[in-house]
Copies of this chain bind each other. A is one copy, B any other.
Amino acid sequence: MNRRAFFLSTAVLALAAAPAAADEGMWTFDNFPAAKMKADYGWAPDQAWLNRVQNAAVRLTGGCSASFVSPQGLILTNHHCVASCLFDNSNDASDYLNKGYVADRRDLELKCPGQQAEVVTKITDVTSDVKAVFGTLTGEALTKARDAKIAEIEKAGCTDTATTRCQVVTLFGGGQYKLYTYRKYSDVRLVWAPEDRAATFGGDPDNFNFPRYSLDASFLRAYENGKPVATPNHLKWSPRPPKEGEATFVVGNPGSTNRLFTQSQLAFEREVRLPVTVATYSELRGRLIRAMDESPAHAREGLDELNGIENSLKVYIGRVKALNDPAFTGKLAAAEADLKAKGAGGADPWTTVDAAVTAYRSLYLPMRFTQPSSELYSYAQALVFAAQERTKPNGERLPGYTDSALPLTEKRLLDEKPIYPWLDELTLEWSLSKAREYLGADDPDTKLLLGKASPEGLAQSLVSGSKLADPAVRKALWDGGMKAIRASDDPMIVYALRLADRQRELKQKADAVYTAPLTIAGSQLADARFAAYGDTLYPDATFTLRISYGKVAGWNERGNDVPFMTTMGGTFDRATGSEPYDAPSAFLANKAKIDPATAYDFVTTNDIIGGNSGSPVIDRAGAVIGAAFDGNINSLGGNYGYDGTVNRTVVVSTDAVQEALEKIYPAPALVKELAAK
């Protein structure tokens, strides 16, 4: 499922990073540009400050960032990062997503399906180990050797898979490989969340816009063995308004950027990927909007999915705009020309990339459209692939099915959560009909997907016939391995088996003609950049821990000054009474109590992107003063580049969260916990 705002959306193979300007940069903790910040701000954090902050930073596997804010495992993140959890715990009567949820006691805290909290404990450079296996290999053999080595390193790094997770991360598009070791907490529970409208006031129209009036905050708690975990390393909670111009740090996991895509990679985005994505997602959005109008149950059950689609679409449309803006693309072209002029030590990675992208063009639509969109299908696909892959040695498996990756795959597969057949059928029907549209009715892949059936008929029969919504059925198939899979007459399992060979074949082709050449070219490009620009570089985002610095500041939008902050009282001025500008019911009910001057949302120059949602916004003292939840509209080109004059991070202030905890969605125990020394 897709998610909202600065959620991680989609991962793309990134190649390199350019020298950073102004407050630009998503820095790794081992290369924080202290000198540069000090020059600009007159102060920069020291290593002790950085270590303290790093130890309190949390990654949420649902695609968000977060931080510990009490010694009892309390986690601050965004409301939209827990929307799925609220949703998965709801039925028509409880409807926690729309109504909000406050756990009055620990035993009422709600388990979040599929969610896992992770804290980085160690980072090891394994670049030479990984690159040593490349030798003179090319094509699929190269990709296989690299993946096998990574699987081996990850397995050796984390022998205790119950509490640790190991992940090798490719930085600088192949310039560096690092092993990240995480302490993981696979039992994460919901503590507090306001009603949906408080977080989504202004809905899609106000998403990625500012001024904003959004309480996009929530609290989770990490558990282990049924008890809250002890988290002595946590951030101090500082419920105060931001000061204009003060330095701010965002610590979190930006998901993916492609800031130094070569010109041919950018052309592929603009000419192929983005147009297909915008057209097809827009249609899905329309189907879902209409379906949600059909009944209150549909309206509730489709909300989380719709929020995700609309958020993604806004991002994609923003990217289209950025890549159609000659001023923006001119800068990217100039950066490439500068590096080309400096050379890549005799290599020509650009030509390699051009050829790889050309080869990938003919694989893109088949790869995209042979992946039907359905939760039940995703279960079936994971069950089929897991059964097939687990029969192989660790080093020969597909990336998601290595020993280091299996625990999270299993958790996501077996955690209980509701499936709404009408919604699953809607997305499946849509994706099958788009497959036929883009591949063509006579294409062999279309025939593989549909046979003689129509998208409508096939979606209906697969969804209504499958029993995979039942976690016990999934568990039996997971435990039963290939024998159980082959014996299953569940139509979704049969269908996933039918598609699996072709999916593998396409991946092998892409490994050979795209991934392998980019592995080498990426390494060459990174080396060229290191040689040209030294350590003024930050790696493209990879959904791993980063820190960005900046300051609280408004901006000038085509002649108009946009203020740096809103106040809670502004909500009532902006409210029209009509969705999505209907004031949250608890705001209306408690209007007399709410201090209208309370700082609400504010903007900073920090450089963030999807995946950073829920990141703590930290002041010079190392205390948390907000949770980043969005970028402004100008930041939507942030995937490809950063412009400090107009790109802004949007933050919900701790001042507002405190006011809400005290007066709007009261949680006295939480107030006490946050205030404890």
Contacts and interface: CB of A to CB of B under 8 A. Distances in A.
Contact of A205 (B272, B283, B440, B453): B440
A284 B284 CA distance: 10
A291 B293 CA distance: 10
A225 interface: no
Given A275-B278, A287-B287, 16 more contacts: A205-B436, A205-B437, A206-B441, A270-B324, A275-B321, A278-B278, A278-B282, A279-B279, A279-B313, A282-B286, A283-B285, A287-B290, A290-B426, A453-B576, A453-B578, A454-B579
B324 A576 contact: no
B209 A440 contact: yes
Nearest to A436: B205
Contacts of A416: none
A457 interface: yes
A191 interface: no
Contacts of A453: 576, 578
A535 interface: no
Contacts of A291: 290
Interface residues of A, number: 46
A345 interface: no
Given A287-B286, A287-B290, A453-B578, A205 B441 contact: yes
A317 interface: yes
A577 interface: yes
Contact of A287 (B289, B321, B426, B576): B289
Interface in A363-414: none
A157 interface: no
Nearest to A446: B205
15 contacts: A204-B437, A205-B437, A209-B440, A271-B325, A275-B275, A275-B317, A275-B320, A278-B282, A279-B317, A283-B283, A283-B289, A286-B289, A286-B290, A290-B426, A454-B576
A299 B579 CA distance: 29
A601 to B, nearest CB: 15
A288 interface: yes
Contact of A579 (B202, B456, B577, B579): B456
Contacts of A294: 294
A278 to B, nearest CB: 5
A113 B577 CA distance: 41
Contacts of A284: 286
A576 B452 contact: yes
Chain B CB count within 10 A is highest, among A278, A286, A581, for A286
A278 B577 CA distance: 32
A90 interface: no
Interface in A578-597: 578-581
Contacts of A287: 286-287, 289-290
A280 interface: yes
Given A205-B436, A209-B441, A452 B577 contact: yes
Contacts of A280: 282
Contacts of A437: 204-205
A437 B317 CA distance: 11
A318 to B, nearest CB: 11
Interface string A181-209: 00000000000000000000010111001
Contacts of A283: 282-283, 285-286, 289
A424 to B, nearest CB: 15
Contacts of A279: 278-279, 282, 313, 317
Chain B CB count within 10 A is highest, among A204, A272, A441, for A441
A581 B436 CA distance: 13
Nearest to A292: B290
Contacts of A317: 275, 279
Interface string A435-471: 0110011000000000011101100000000000000
A285 to B, nearest CB: 5
Which 9 interchain pairs have the tightest Cβ spacing? A286-B286, A282-B282, A454-B578, A290-B290, A283-B286, A286-B287, A271-B324, A452-B576, A205-B441
Interface string A293-330: 01000000000000000000100010011001100000
